[in-house]
Structure 1
Amino acid sequence: MKAFMTIGTIDFLQKLAAKHEDIHFHLMNSSEGSLAYYEDEPKNIFSSGRAYEVVIQSGLLEEEGYVVMNNIPVTDDGRAIFEERFKDRQNAVDKLPGFQAFRFLRPTKGDTYVVLTQWRSKADFENWKNSEAFKKAHKGTSTKPPAYFPNKPFITTYHMHDPEEDED
């Protein structure tokens, strides 16, 4: 399965979604801007978007919720090791209160993977980060990044776009 995303103003992304009514877009907002995401379609309609292979997925993306994207640059030599680590992961996150969806996305171009999780609320995500399940899932990871991370990973967060907020 493929996934695609791009950033822009919410007005631009809504117009794009209206132009492509056959595609189910997930629109998200943050203090940095807005993002459109869709998956399970054969082609990328974004002129400057990013494309991914969905390597692992669980849950369904909901129209409401809090999205956390861990953006992780990985060298070509490190891809197999990095992907194995996620394929072997315990599915503990999937069973936590407030969990909605998980996507492990491999870039089709570039080196930055995305680990996307969607939660019912930011509080649910924070509860996961402070849980024993989180500690267990990240056991053995050191504070020093692996050699196959050419750059420091970074996190982006979003709230799913609420069209009713546009009416205010």
Structure 2
Amino acid sequence: MTIIKINAITVPEDGGDELARRFAARAGAVDDRPGFEGFELLKPTDDRKTWLVVTRWADDDSFQAWLNSPAFGHGHRSETPKDGEPAPRPVGVSSELWSYEIAGGSLG
């Protein structure tokens, strides 16, 4: 049964473009993980400051295996600063992980 993991990330007003850039730079990094079924980065279209990272997994064990993998740590580490430049600041102010399973719907 597919499970949905949503990382709700609160981003300052000026941080959304940087969040999107960082996700684009890692595009495809999780695609080959066992049990991974898909991913979307959802940008708010109103005045909310919470972006949603929605991933779909075959089961919770697959998600947990990725979460505990070196690939996860590598993809979520801070960027290395360039010579003479300060380290990039975190984009998110806070985040919260939500977990769901599909209870109904349509493929439309």
Task: Give the TM bin, normalised by the shorter chain.
Answer: 0.7 to 0.9
Aligned counterparts of 2:71 and 2:27: Cα–Cα separation in 1:
9
Task: Provide the secondary structure at the position in 2 that maps to 1:124.
Answer: helix
Aligned counterparts of 2:92 and 2:56: Cα–Cα separation in 1:
24
> Are positions 1:123 and 2:65 aligned together?
no
Identity %: 33
In the other structure, the counterpart of 2:22 is 85
Instruction: Name the count of aligned residue pairs.
Output: 95
Q: Which runs of 5+ in 2 are unaligned?
A: 80-88
Query: Over the residues paired in the alignment, what is the CA RMSD in angstroms?
Result: 2.0
Of the two, which has the highest radius of gyration?
Answer: 1
In the other structure, the counterpart of 1:13 is none
After superposition, give the CA deviation of every residue in 1:64-93 in whole Å (9 maximum; x if it has no partner).
401100001111111111111111115221
Task: Provide the secondary structure at the position in 2 that maps to 1:107.
Answer: coil
Normalised by the size of structure 1, how large is the TM-score? 0.52
Aligned counterparts of 1:66 and 1:149: Cα–Cα separation in 2:
24
Contact 1:90 1:137 in 2 (8 A): no
Aligned counterparts of 2:92 and 2:69: Cα–Cα separation in 1:
26
- The correspondence for 1:95, drawn from 32, 57, 60, is 32
Aligned counterparts of 1:70 and 1:78: Cα–Cα separation in 2:
16
Normalised by the size of structure 2, how large is the TM-score? 0.78
Contact 1:67 1:118 in 2 (8 A): yes
In the other structure, the counterpart of 1:14 is none
Aligned counterparts of 2:27 and 2:77: Cα–Cα separation in 1:
11
Q: Which consecutive segments of 4 or more residues in structure 1 shift more than 6 A? A: none
In the other structure, the counterpart of 1:155 is 97
